[in-house]
Structure formats: C-alpha cells, structure tokens
Amino acid sequence: MSTNGHSHSAPPILLTIAGFDPSCGAGTAADLKTFAAHGCYGVAAITSLTVQNTQGVETVHNTPSAELRAQLEVLANDCEIAAVKIGMLGNRGNAAVVAEFLDAHNFAHVVHDPVMKSSGGAELLDASGIKFLATELLKRASVVTPNVPEAEVLTGLTIKDVADMEAAARKIVELGARAVIVKGGHLERAVDVLFDGNELVQLGGDRVKTDNTHGTGCTLASAIAAQLASARTLVEAATLAKAYVTKAIEKGYPIGKGRVPLDHFYRQRIEPPARGIHEVPQHGMHPAAEPAAH
C-alpha cells in the first residue's frame, strides 16, 4: 500500500525534456502522447516555448536555464523516473543544465534526439549548444537518435547512402555515445542504422510519405524510451518503436494547413463523443445537460 492511500501500482514514469509545440504534433506534447500510448506516465520539463503551428516555427522563446533546472529538480525529487527522453534544448545554457541533471541522477535509460533545426529550417539549438551536445551530452545518453542532417553536423561527414550512415554511426560512438540510431528518413530507403559499439544493425522499414509529417523524430525517441523502460533490449526497443511510428504516420490526419501530425493513439481508436449525448455529473454540482434538439 503506498503512503498516499492508493493501492494501484504506478506505471513506469518517463520524463521528457523538450520544447513545447502549440500545435501539439511535436515536442513535449508528442512525447507525452507517445508515453501514454505505451502505458507509461509522462512528466515534462519545458526547455522552450515555441510559436508554431503545422505550417512552421515562427519564433522560439527559450526557458531561462535556472527555471529549467528548477523544473527538473522538482520532478526528480517527487517521482522515480524510469527513463528520460531529451529533445529540443534551445541553447548551450539549457544543454549544460541537462548535463548536470543527468550527472546528479543515475537514470537507467536516456534517449537523446539531438534536435538542431525544425523541418522548416528554424534554428532550435544555437551553435555553442551544438558544440556542447557533441562534446558533452552525447556521452551521457544511452542512445542518440540523429537524422541524416544532424548526423552530418555531429560528424562532419556527408551522408548519401546507407554505407555513409554506417560510417557516421561509428564516428558518433567514437565521439562518446554509447549507442546511436542514424535515421534514414531523409534518404530514398527508410533504413535506420543502429550501432551499439559492437554490432551494426540495419532497421528496415516501409517507406511512408514522411516528407509531410510533423513530430516523427520526437515520437520515435519517446517510443524507444518507453520500450527501454519496459526492459526491452535496444534492438527490440528500436524495432518496436519504428513499427509504432510507421503506423502512427499512416494513420495521421491533417489538423491544420501544414504538416500532418501522427495519430499517437491509433491502437486505442479513440472515438469523439456522439453529438447530443452528455454525461450528467453525478455530484449534482451542475445543472443537467440540455436535452438534445429534436
């Protein structure tokens, strides 16, 4: 029996450290939806408040690093975190706070999606932040999940095909990462390359129309974190996460005029409430719902 009187055991608690996207297709909103879809409870520390919709990022307001530190500490002091997912950091100050936080708490699983630019090209991490990420943060993650352009920035290599992706994966591990998944969504074939320092594994996948989707990188990293928290191996976690993202892309639907967000809850088939049917609150605080019009 827990101290607060609830006998239910808590599901794994996952922390996302990322930016907030008001259209809720990417960033912390995508992460929290992904955690929930995997039966985990998500908590979030916001690194940046972006002004964006499905058509693109307009402006970025990074959280002051002292506030980010405070958000992280209150969460870590309150609950047992099974895995951490890192996304957009905004700047070097916030990246440094995250490094300190990871050093202070020995988390079992840290999945870092090294976000640098939005799909539309907006800068989501400053130049000194990128340098800090490459030299300091990579080695604090269990796995890093760069896409091809991010892997090129981290390694200085040009990536044109799967062989180049494998070379980049090896170099990122040389830079200090424990494991890396280089995502090939930007290339012709949707092959991802996983390297854990020992073996290179190609994760094949169906090519889905991903050029008009929003939040795939956030979702993949969050799904991997959820699978690792459920005691899967990295290869299993990455394979299952990739299958989940592929299906969520297929089931995605437009909510705005730009990029299509994923349907994170495609497995649950959530139905909107039928019109004219209202649940009347049981406690009598509110008048009964209006009868449906005839």
* CATH number of the CATH domain containing 242: 3.40.1190.20
Residue with tokens 């299952």: 240
pLDDT at 85 over 90: yes
- As for how many domains the chain has, the answer is 1
Residue 3 counted as domain residue: no
Residue 97 counted as domain residue: yes
Note down the domain range covering 217.
Answer: 13-261
Residue-level pLDDT at 218: 94
Residue-level pLDDT at 153: 94
Residue-level pLDDT at 286: 53
Q: Please compute the mean of the pLDDT values over residues 248-274 and round it to a whole number.
A: 87
Residue 289 counted as domain residue: no
pLDDT at 268 over 70: yes
Q: Is 14 helix (H, G, I), strand (E, B) or coil?
A: strand
Which two three-digit tokens encode residue 133?
Answer: 């990420």
Q: Comparing C-alpha atoms, which of 264, 263, 258 is closest to residue 53? A: 258
Which two three-digit tokens encode residue 150?
Answer: 């991010």
Residue-level pLDDT at 163: 94
Q: Please compute the mean of the pLDDT values over residues 42-53 and round it to a whole number.
A: 96
Q: Comparing C-alpha atoms, which of 163, 98, 164, 104 is closest to residue 155? A: 164
Residue-level pLDDT at 1: 42
pLDDT at 39 over 60: yes
Question: CB of 114 within 8 A of CB of 45?
Answer: no
pLDDT digits (tens, 9 = 90+) for 179-225: 999 998 766 667 899 999 999 999 987 666 556 688 899 999 999 99
In angstroms, the Cα distances linking 238 to 10, 137, 138, 188, 205 are: 24, 21, 18, 20, 12
Question: CB of 20 within 8 A of CB of 49?
Answer: yes
Which two three-digit tokens encode residue 163?
Answer: 């062989």
Residue-level pLDDT at 2: 46
Q: Which is it for strands 56-62 and 41-53: parallel, antiparallel or unpaired?
A: antiparallel
pLDDT at 288 over 60: no
Task: Please give the mean pLDDT across all residues of the chain.
Answer: 89
Q: Is 200 helix (H, G, I), strand (E, B) or coil?
A: strand
Residue 118 counted as domain residue: yes
- Spell 148-176 as b/e; 16+ CB within 10 A means b: bebbbbbbeeebeebebbbbbbbbbbeee
Residue-level pLDDT at 273: 82
Residue 6 counted as domain residue: no
In angstroms, the Cα distances linking 223 to 32, 51, 179, 207, 261 are: 10, 25, 16, 19, 16
Which two three-digit tokens encode residue 278?
Answer: 């209202």
pLDDT at 5 over 60: no
Question: CB of 201 within 8 A of CB of 192?
Answer: no
Residue 282 counted as domain residue: no
End-to-end distance of the chain based on CA atoms, in angstroms?
51
Q: Is 54 helix (H, G, I), strand (E, B) or coil?
A: coil
Which two three-digit tokens encode residue 116?
Answer: 């640098």
Question: CB of 13 within 8 A of CB of 41?
Answer: yes
Q: Comparing C-alpha atoms, which of 192, 189, 197 is closest to residue 238? A: 192
* Range with the largest mean pLDDT of 1-5, 116-120, 171-175: 171-175
Q: Please compute the mean of the pLDDT values over residues 113-118 and round it to a whole number.
A: 92
Residue 5 counted as domain residue: no
Angle (CA) 167 211 94, round 5°: 65
pLDDT at 290 over 60: no
Q: Which is it for strands 56-62 and 83-86: parallel, antiparallel or unpaired?
A: unpaired
Residue 234 counted as domain residue: yes
CA atoms of 37 and 41, how far apart (whole Å): 9
Active-site residue numbers?
183, 213, 215-218
pLDDT band at 64 (very low <50, low <70, confident <90, very high): very high
